[in-house]
Structure 1
Amino acid sequence: MTADPSEYEKAMPTVSAFLKKMERGVDRTWATHTGRPYPTVREALALALEEEGARPMVPQVVDELARQISEGTNR
């Protein structure tokens, strides 16, 4: 099964907008919560993503981002 290239091009503006929202939420959380305990970071990140309109998010992605922010890694 192959994807129709026109479908990809139609979806890209929506995907791009979502990724920008996600990036803003992650950046906000990095700026304010780096090194804090994971549960605190996870809650702050979930709230920031919601406020930016980056929903729905895959829980495992939020978990991993929160772990990285908490540990101060991969920035």
Structure 2
Amino acid sequence: MNSTRIIGIILIVAGVAGLAFGGFSFTKETHKASLGPINLSVAEEKSVDIPLWASIAAIVAGAAVLVAGGSKR
């Protein structure tokens, strides 16, 4: 399997995952204060929404890469 097919498959899988989940969240830990041996930290949850158009564009681009990569033989 050559690299163009792998890139095309990764783009398609990423686009389908974006359509299925719609976004992801992660926890960001920030240290606000350090008073001697005591450290105060805040865990903040952030979420990132993946736009529908970006997911569809990734699927279309992945399909185009697969078609273009297969026709060069």
TM above 0.5: no
Task: Please tell me whether Structure 1 or Structure 2 has the larger radius of gyration of its CA atoms.
Answer: 2
- Normalised TM-score (structure 1): 0.33
- Normalised TM-score (structure 2): 0.33
Greater length-normalized contact order (CA 8 Å, ≥ 6 residues apart): 2
Please identify which structure carries the higher strand content: 2
Please identify which structure carries the higher helix content: 1
